[in-house]
A and B are shown apart, each in its own frame.
Chain A
Amino acid sequence: EPEVTQTPSHQVTQMGQEVILRCVPISNHLYFYWYRQILGQKVEFLVSFYNNEISEKSEIFDDQFSVERPDGSNFTLKIRSTKLEDSAMYFCASSDRLAGQETQYFGPGTRLLVL
């Protein structure tokens, strides 16, 4: 069964450093998403991406965040200058474009710890 994959599974970084989180969405999906989950809290939407551009973003997704589809398979989230409060699980998700098949499937997540 196809699945979303993410790397790395864990990332520890110093405050102010840049991090890049990587995702490989399900191969025939066209919509891509990033969510985050601070420990013990609910999953929060960050950004959605379609046709090589951002289609929707939350107020969490400020100028420190960016997303990119560098090739035909990867989807990345970059945090330019990490803050302590960026520590969270980051989940990538993808969905198909077809009506009735837009369920978002999630990857296993990257646990980011900012020290």
Chain B
Amino acid sequence: GESVGLHLPTLSVQEGDNSIINCAYSNSASDYFIWYKQESGKGPQFIIDIRSNMDKRQGQRVTVLLNKTVKHLSLQIAATQPGDSAVYFCAEQGGANSKLTFGKGITLSVRP
């Protein structure tokens, strides 16, 4: 069936460096993509989203890139901070208010 998956299980970066987290999706009909951050013992926290009619969207210190040709989604975090340490999930949605399909998650570890 359709799925969303992440390439790497863990990512370790130096504080202050930029982080890039990648995600592949397989449902070409998906039109909405979201990155969530999950800290230990907490629920997924919305970071940034992007619609299929866009290829880039920027937030505060975060940028999401969407490449529909290769069905690839990435999250860039600028000047990574210790507070960014968490598990990051990409998720896709096929239509407004429909279910989210999550990837497996990648752990971001920030070295001081």
Contacts and interface: CB of A to CB of B under 8 A. Distances in A.
A50 B98 CA distance: 11
Contact of A45 (B44, B45, B97, B101): B101
B42 A109 contact: yes
Contact of A42 (B34, B46, B102): B102
B100 A104 contact: yes
A108 B104 CA distance: 19
Nearest to B6: A42
Given A42-B89, A106-B44, A109-B43, A56 B49 contact: no
Interface in B43-76: 43-46, 49
B99 A58 contact: yes
A106 B98 contact: no
Interface in B1-53: 32, 34, 36, 41-46, 49
B89 A95 contact: no
Interface string A78-115: 00000000000001000101010011111111000000
A107 B104 contact: no
Contacts of B98: 48, 56
Interface in B81-112: 89, 91, 93, 96-105
Contacts of A44: 102
Interface of A: 4, 31, 33, 35, 41-45, 48, 50, 55-56, 58, 91, 95, 97, 99, 102-109
Interface of B: 32, 34, 36, 41-46, 49, 89, 91, 93, 96-105
Given A33-B99, A102-B32, A104-B100, 5 more contacts: A45-B100, A55-B97, A97-B97, A104-B46, A106-B36
